[in-house]
Amino acid sequence: MSTLEIDYTYDTGPPGDPVGLDDRGSYLEMFLTTRSIAPATQTVTGNQDSPITASTAYTATGFAGSVSYAVTSGTLPGGLILNATTGVITGTPTSTSTAGVTITATGASFGQATATVVFQLDVPVPAPAFTLSSSSESKPQNAAIAGYTITSTGGTVASYAISPLAPAGLTFSTSTGLLSGTPTTVQSATAYTITATNATGTATRTFTLTVTLAAPGVPLQPTVVSGDEQVTVSVAAGSGGTPASYTVSASPQVGGVTKTCTVTVPATSCIVTGLTSGTAYTFTATATNTTGTSAASAASAAVTPTLAAQTTTDALDKSSLLPIAGSNVPAVAIWGLLLLTVGATLITLSRRRSVARH
């Protein structure tokens, strides 16, 4: 605050003044002086039991000689002191305060000016501190994790973070610090750092997660396409772990043997051969990986293989074939050849007898 001060002197004129007292009389000299200190208002902030940042030193204007400072209204919070030479307030407050004080500057010769200091001293927010209900977990792929709960034993947490990022299928909450969900990718033991933060500081804890390969779930119902004495069977994974292969089985058996085929991932189908045409079959599938083998799927729709296409020779009655030099020749052709041979022989003999008579 600036102060307008009126200073004056009273004089009756110097001795020997040619004007003389009878001519001039007494006179009054008046001086108008503005005095101030800056900053006129400032705010001191801090926390209880923590050293404050020193207030700004004052700059005095209009004073003659040195200036001293004092609190003239209000009371400094406990633990704080005022430097009478500079007007700077320092120290460690022992209590909270939102009050203000008036600082007055006084010149060595004369004059005063005032300024206001407002305090904003709060109870400090403690740094975060917390514990996890569990520090590790091992879970099969595609199974929900139990996770952990957090117990806070320090200051209010403003936010949480996790490093590295949560794995596929899991979600991390920056407001609660919790990790939840269903992991979809197999991983070895991985340590995740959970960090809690507020204005005062940070705190960390570690959670280690292992995701193992689960045994495959039951495959979906196979789909089928009929062929010549064979059937193409397509398979797909169900729930559980990722399959490495599938085994497809036909029903009923053929000659007491169950006909099968194998699908090796990433393939999605295989062909069951050696089936009997005209017989209806259904097919089931099991899934396998290094952890185990699933139960059988639901049976496919029934399908009937067709008879394989035949060549002209195959269409002949094989009972009419005779073995000749390791191959099969139709019996009709054989008999025809024999008849031709016998006929030719008879004709030859007949001619010889006719020549002999003559």
Q: Where are the domains of the chain?
A: 3-122, 130-212, 218-309, 313-358
pTM as predicted:
0.50
Domains 3-122 and 218-309 share a fold: yes
pLDDT tens digits, one per residue of 34-92? 889 999 999 999 888 889 999 999 999 988 889 999 999 999 999 999 999 999 999 99
Residue 169 Cα distances to 141, 145, 184, angstroms: 10, 10, 5
How far is it, in rounded angstroms, from Cα 358 to Cα 348? 16
Phi, psi angles (nearest 5°) of residue 290? -70, -15
Q: Tell me which architecture the domain covering 3-122 has in CATH.
A: Sandwich (2.60)
pLDDT, position 352: 56
pLDDT, position 19: 45
Residue 157 Cα distances to 15, 126, 166, 174, 201, angstroms: 83, 10, 20, 10, 9
Q: Are 97 and 106 in contact (CB under 8 A)?
A: no
Q: Are 122 and 105 in contact (CB under 8 A)?
A: no
* Residue 332 CB partners (closer than 8 Å, separation 6+): 320
Q: CATH number for 218-309: choose from 2.60.40.1180, 2.60.40.10, 1.10.150.120, 2.30.30.90.
A: 2.60.40.10
Report which of residues 349 and 187 the model is more confident about.
Answer: 187
pLDDT, position 333: 56
β-pair type (100-107, 67-73): antiparallel
Share of the chain above pLDDT 90, in %: 61
Residue 244: name the closest of 264, 220, 269 by CA: 264
pLDDT tens digits, one per residue of 104-147? 999 987 778 888 888 888 777 789 999 999 999 999 988 899 99
Residue 122: name the closest of 62, 215, 47 by CA: 47
Q: Tell me which architecture the domain covering 130-212 has in CATH.
A: Sandwich (2.60)
- 158-167, 234-243, 340-349: the lowest-pLDDT one: 340-349
